[in-house]
Amino acid sequence: MSPKEPRIVAELGRPETPDETAARKAASSRRHRENRNVVNLIAAVVVCLAVVLVMVLVVVRPGVPEREPVDVAAAAAGAQVVTDEPLLVPALPEEWAANVAEIRTGADDIISWYAGYVTPGEQFLFLRQAVDANPTWLVTAIEDATPTGERTIDGVTWIEHDQRDTEDPGNLAYVLTTEHGASTVIVGGTADDAELQAFAEAVSAQLTGGE
């Protein structure tokens, strides 16, 4: 049997030398290892992403604790030392949750009592009561909202400032203002007519000494 003839390489037009054969095999082996490394890397990335997805979907994440409602009556009792004028604490159903109740000092060092509520409809309403305020304080507090009418609620006459059709009125979308004794009172917010009426009635009842 004749010995096996060396393989003729088309690119060379002649048989490979032993060194060329060794180099070709080494290059082929290197390419194979590189390809295998790339495949392994892609597989590892896919596995990591799958693990992260499972953790996001399966692991129970603790919810954000709900903020405790503010006790407006207690806050008012503590703040009453700053004025002899009775601070307003409207009587509202349990579905109304207060999220702020505090004394604020504004222009000309005028002190005001502020309480904000989240309504059952998930809107915001507030009352602000200033003692011995001047007209400038009121204009500033309601950001120069234009009067649009009057409303009488439980014997209290309120000046209406309806800005719900204006661009971005914020928490002053609808505002009622009145003066009662030494108090200048503002009621306002983003709630619908029914919740606004209920809130204004609760504030008016306290102003007039009603239940």
Q: What is the dihedral of CA 188, 74, 122, 65, to 10 degrees?
A: 140
Angle value at C-alpha 100, between 99 and 103, nearest 5 degrees: 170
Q: Say if strands 149-153 and 156-162 run parallel, antiparallel, or are unpaired.
A: antiparallel
When computed from its CA atoms, the radius of gyration of the chain, rounded to whole angstroms, is: 38
Number of domains in the chain: 2
Regarding whether 84 and 46 lie in a shared domain, the answer is: no
State whether 26 and 127 are in the same domain: no
Write the burial class of residue 21 (CB in 10 Å: 0-12 exposed, 13-18 middle, 19+ buried). Answer: middle
Which residue type, as a one-letter code, is found at position 2?
S
**Per-residue pLDDT tens over the stretch 177-187:** 999 999 999 99
**Separation of alpha carbons 116 and 71, rounded Å:** 11
In a domain, 139, yes or no: yes
Poorest-confidence range of 2-6, 46-50, 70-74, 135-139?
Answer: 2-6
172: domain range? 72-207
Find out whether 151 and 135 touch, Cβ atoms under 8 Å. Answer: no
Q: Do 203 and 128 reside in the same domain of the chain?
A: yes
Say yes or no: 100 and 194 in one domain: yes
Task: Answer yes or no: is 67 within a domain.
Answer: no
Residues 166/143, Cβ–Cβ less than 8 Å: no
Rounded Cα distance between 76 and 93, Å, is: 18
Selected residue with higher pLDDT from 211 and 20: 20
Q: Does 87 reside within a domain?
A: yes
pLDDT tens-digit profile of 58-103?
A: 554 444 445 678 999 999 999 999 999 999 999 999 999 999 999 9
